[in-house]
Amino acid sequence: MTCSIKIDNVSMRYGDKLALDGVSLEIPEGTIYGILGPNGSGKTTLMRIVLGLLKQTGGSTSVCGYDSVRDQMEIKAISGYVPETPILYESMTPSELFSFIASIRRMDEGTFRRRIEALIDAFGIDEYMNEFIGSLSFGNRQKVAIISAIVHDPKILIVDEGINGLDPRSAKLFKSILLDMRDHGKIIVFSTHILEIAESLCDHVAILYNGHIVANGTIADLRNEANEPSQNLEEIFLKLTNADDIPEVARYLRDEIEH
Amino acid sequence: MRLNTKTLFYLARRILIEERYLALKNSASFMIRSSKVRNKGNYIMRYVNISYGATSFSFIIFSLILTAPSLMNHEIYTLSSVVLLLFIYSLFINISNSLLFFVSVNINHILDPLRVLPVDFPDHVIAVSWFIYTGSSSLFAVLPAVFLSAFLLDDPYILAMGIIWSLFSVMLGYIIGSAMFVVFGSRLSGRRTRATNILRNVGRILFLIFVFAIFEIILYNANIVNGVIPRLPFPYSYFAPVFNIQSTIFFFHGPLMEATGYIIAITYTAASILSFVYVNKKAFYKLLEPTARTQIKGEQHVKANVRSQQFSFFSKDLKISSRKSQNLVLLIMPIFFVFPTIMSEVLYAPTARADPVTLYNAMVAFVIVTSSFYSILFLVIEGSGISFIKALPLDSRNIIRWKIPAPTFIFVVISVSMLVAISIKIVMGFAFYLFIILDMILYFVSSIVYNMNRLYRKIPDTADTVNFYSFGGQIAFITTFAFTGLIVGSADIFSLMIQDLLRLSVYMFFVVNTIVGISILLILAFRYGILSYRIRHEDGPMLQA
């Protein structure tokens, strides 16, 4: 059975504030889909709606045929989520947390043991397994959050700025894991501010700006859309989000500081 | 650089707004309402003020309801007992509130942004914040009674002394609460083996029980107990702070005694100010301590066990509730509230052969306080873990159902220990003890099922964290106590009524009470899907690992 994410005309309103306005996307399996956008553009809101953590106020979202409002549990069962800030139980050790997740997700013990040992070894956190998570550095907590999200081999992985705080080796490892997951038919929805990562990793990119999709497609499509065939993703992004006047702003700030 | 008074008050307000904001920020209603107002800071402040007003109002009503009958009948002794009860209540409220305030500021890292600023922060900023927006509300529990007593008895001395002692109670509550935070509050840091961690916490609890025991021994060695409030003989009655309210305010009048009364009250208040300066500084700097991290070398053994979902949840709840010593203190706090009552009702009864129903009724107070407190506490201990839990394939019914065993386990351990201790003094059939513990568990679980379901619904879908203010702060405590009291109290009264009407034996009281308890539990369990619900997902889309 093929699995895809369908976001159809989704809106999200908080009182008078419209966080998402008629967003539509279709993400097929075997894809790493980058969601880019300035701060506050609605990326996290969109990801949380896909996961069923937030109910949209308009439109519909389905994940592998499951409705994100009605079938939240089914979606959570086949998904993994790496949030922007690793939110974990600080008074548990990574070892206890992984066992807890495996128990809640009802994983087979042998498979869990094999996978968790491989992941711990790969991310180099063996020595922290019996420490309290609250005493780990941000980067190590992020590694724990990543392992928690992928240990059950999810069909859908939502990564919200998940590479933040990782050392270069772990960041490279995580990117390789994402590419491998894509090659095995998984769907990865990935948001980042580091446009080089998006450019090197994502098959498709959508740019969110003020709750709207302003561009959507492969990097080549975006270049064509911005009429800048030779430019990199950063320049295209700045142009599409009306932020291509940065050098002038920096000069203005320098003038203000010096006066 | 030192801060001026205006900035101090600004900062005190800021701390409180930050704390409430963290509790409210993800609630849909808050987001919708706050998006419509221009001045968002004022919006939260308005919420704080409304909550403060509602709490104070409920305290005034509570105070008036308790004092009105004895005032109208001019029963001075009863009135003085009620006023003393209000003072003790206010003291305990202030101890728990100040401890919770420190814990909340600590776990939410509210003072962290201050550390990087080049300013010498006054260490009483937390105390000011707590007093203005939390502690001062407890004055409304005692002052109406004091005003009414002074007015109806036409005695300005009662008014003056009542005001001094009520301020003293607030300060004493803060000092004890902050001292508890200094001793027990900590952030998790560094490496700690399981054995040393357990030993450290056991040591702290033993210390706490030791201090508490000294307090109890001093109090009860006086050996004269009247009703629910211990009445002390002369030297203690005049000099034991707070417990001397009856004698210093209502009795021993005359110029010399009144002058002595003022001297005692002012001396204690001055001593409490000195203690405040010392303890408050310690507590404040503990809040500013950075989290220590240790570098560990060497591979550690990975325990990779897959257990049942229920056991895994139970084990997680026990770990997160017992590993932070501040949570441990909160777990045993209900004992502090009700143990004096049980002691006075049962242990110091004139005869060693107690009536089992009297013992059960005394233990009902423990069920009400513990169940209410744990319903809130076991949701709050999730903290920021609530968003983690919500990303797992668990719905609210699973979460509530699996959250019942951990508090019940702790409750049973404490209750059985208390009953074993009581059984040394009280001669009573073993069957009665079994009935008492069975009924206590039934009503504890029933009220925890009801309260947790009620409170859990208040946590918004998008919540990143849960704290005491997520449910409405003190109002949540009051309503939870009220609902629990209604469930447990009405069943108890109903059973007593049946026993009395049909002239049944004591055994039959327990049989009726057990039947009522089982019925209530079954009704609530079906109502909230604890029993009937078979999780689709247990047999549904489980990941093929």
> What is the layout of strands, in order, in the sheet containing A31-36?
A79-82, A156-160, A187-191, A31-36, A204-209, A212-217
Q: Do A87 and B464 touch (CB under 8 A)?
A: yes
The yes-or-no verdict on residue B473 having pLDDT over 80 is no
B279 with B347, same domain: the answer is no
- Between CA B151 and CA B386 the distance in angstroms is 51
Q: What is the mean pLDDT of residues A96-100?
A: 90
For the ranges A190-194, B61-65, B190-194, which has the lowest average pLDDT?
Answer: B190-194
Please state the domain count of chain B.
2
Strand locations in B494-545, DSSP E? none
The rounded percent of chain A whose pLDDT value lies above 90 is 39
When CB atoms are compared, the residue of A98, A130, A153 closest to B545 is A153
Q: Do B307 and A136 touch (CB under 8 A)?
A: no
Q: What is the mean pLDDT of residues B7-26?
A: 78
Question: Which DSSP state fits A20?
Answer: E
- Interchain CB contact of B388 with A (< 8 Å): yes
Task: Answer whether residue B506 is part of any domain.
Answer: yes
Q: Do A78 and B308 touch (CB under 8 A)?
A: no
pLDDT at residue B447, as a whole number: 94
pLDDT at residue B542, as a whole number: 40
Choose among A89, A148, A16, A68: nearest CA to B461: A68
Coil vs helix vs strand at B4: coil
Choose among B417, B410, B409, B419: nearest CA to B359: B419
Coil vs helix vs strand at A227: coil
The rounded percent of chain B whose pLDDT value lies above 70 is 74
Average pLDDT score over chain B: 77
Task: Answer whether residue B27 is part of any domain.
Answer: yes
When CB atoms are compared, the residue of A17, A48, A104 closest to B392 is A104
Residue B303: closest C-alpha in chain A: A95
Those residues whose C-beta lies under 8 Å from the C-beta of residue B467, and which sit 6 or more positions away, are B19, B22, B23, B104, B107, B108, B380, B383
pLDDT band, residue B296 (cuts 50/70/90): low
Strands A187-191 and A17-27: unpaired
Task: Answer whether residue B84 is part of any domain.
Answer: yes
B331 with B415, same domain: the answer is yes
Those residues whose C-beta lies under 8 Å from the C-beta of residue B281, and which sit 6 or more positions away, are B123
> What is the CATH class of A1-78+155-219?
alpha beta
pLDDT at residue B61, as a whole number: 84
Please give, rounded to a whole number of angstroms, the shortest distance from the CA of B308 to a CA of chain A: 6
**Could you tell me which residue, B246 or B321, shows the higher pLDDT?**
B321
- Between CA B435 and CA B515 the distance in angstroms is 11
> Which class for B428: exposed (0-12), middle (13-18), buried (19 or more C-beta within 10 A)?
middle
| Per-residue pLDDT tens digits for B351-370 | 555 678 878 887 888 898 88
- Interchain CB contact of A139 with B (< 8 Å): no
Task: Answer whether residue B126 is part of any domain.
Answer: yes
A53, A200 Cβ separation under 8 angstroms: no
Please give, rounded to a whole number of angstroms, the shortest distance from the CA of B30 to a CA of chain A: 9
Q: Do A135 and B293 touch (CB under 8 A)?
A: yes
Please give, rounded to a whole number of angstroms, the shortest distance from the CA of B1 to a CA of chain A: 25
B141 with B28, same domain: the answer is yes
- Between CA A209 and CA A40 the distance in angstroms is 9
B34 contacts on A by Cβ (under 8 Å): 15
Q: Do A55 and B293 touch (CB under 8 A)?
A: no
The yes-or-no verdict on residue B189 having pLDDT over 50 is no
Task: Answer whether residue B251 is part of any domain.
Answer: yes
ipTM above 0.85, yes or no: no
The yes-or-no verdict on residue B535 having pLDDT over 50 is no
Which of B261, B291, B321 is the last residue before a domain boundary? B291
* Helix ranges, B294-355 (H): 309-322, 325-342
pLDDT at residue A194, as a whole number: 77
The rounded percent of chain B whose pLDDT value lies above 90 is 10
Which of B236, B258, B291 is the last residue before a domain boundary? B291
pLDDT at residue B253, as a whole number: 65
- Interchain CB contact of B537 with A (< 8 Å): yes
pLDDT at residue B450, as a whole number: 94
Most B-contacting residue of A54, A87, A93, A120 (CB-CB within 10 A), to test interface: A87
The yes-or-no verdict on residue B377 having pLDDT over 80 is yes
Most A-contacting residue of B187, B313, B543 (CB-CB within 10 A), to test interface: B543
Which helix (DSSP H) or strand (DSSP E) does residue A36 occupy?
Answer: strand A31-36
Q: What is the mean pLDDT of residues B302-322?
A: 84
B282 with B315, same domain: the answer is no
- Between CA A213 and CA A7 the distance in angstroms is 12
**Could you tell me which residue, B74 or B388, shows the higher pLDDT?**
B388
Most B-contacting residue of A57, A100, A160 (CB-CB within 10 A), to test interface: A100
Q: For chain A, where do the domains classified as CATH 3.40.50.300 start and end?
A: 1-78+155-219
When CB atoms are compared, the residue of A16, A83, A103 closest to B36 is A16
| Per-residue pLDDT tens digits for B255-271 | 777 787 788 888 888 88
Q: Do B464 and A16 touch (CB under 8 A)?
A: no
Q: Is B151 left (phi over 0), alpha (psi -120 to 50) or beta?
A: alpha
Q: What is the mean pLDDT of residues B2-6?
A: 71
Q: Do A135 and B312 touch (CB under 8 A)?
A: no
- Interchain CB contact of A121 with B (< 8 Å): no
Question: Which DSSP state fits B296?
Answer: -
pTM over 0.90: no
Which of B258, B291, B324 is the last residue before a domain boundary? B291
B138 with B175, same domain: the answer is yes
Per the DSSP assignment, residues forming a β-bridge with A206 are A35, A216
pLDDT at residue B225, as a whole number: 33
Please give, rounded to a whole number of angstroms, the shortest distance from the CA of A231 to a CA of chain B: 38
B251 with B316, same domain: the answer is no
Those residues whose C-beta lies under 8 Å from the C-beta of residue A118, and which sit 6 or more positions away, are none
Strands A31-36 and A204-209: parallel
A62, A68 Cβ separation under 8 angstroms: yes
| Per-residue pLDDT tens digits for B77-124 | 777 777 887 887 788 788 878 887 887 788 777 887 776 666 677 788
pLDDT at residue B193, as a whole number: 47
B232, B245 Cβ separation under 8 angstroms: no
For the ranges A172-186, B184-198, B320-334, which has the lowest average pLDDT?
Answer: B184-198
B115 with B258, same domain: the answer is yes
Q: Do A77 and B32 touch (CB under 8 A)?
A: no
Domain that holds residue B281: 1-291
- Between CA B314 and CA B405 the distance in angstroms is 6
- Between CA B398 and CA A106 the distance in angstroms is 14
Most A-contacting residue of B192, B392, B534 (CB-CB within 10 A), to test interface: B392
Choose among B443, B445, B426: nearest CA to B530: B445
Q: Return the number of CB contacts < 8 Å for A and B.
A: 177
Token readout for B375 is 């319903």
The yes-or-no verdict on residue A31 having pLDDT over 90 is yes
B269 with B320, same domain: the answer is no
Task: Answer whether residue B297 is part of any domain.
Answer: no
- In this structure, the number of other CB atoms found within 10 A of the CB of residue A128 comes to 25
The yes-or-no verdict on residue B539 having pLDDT over 80 is no
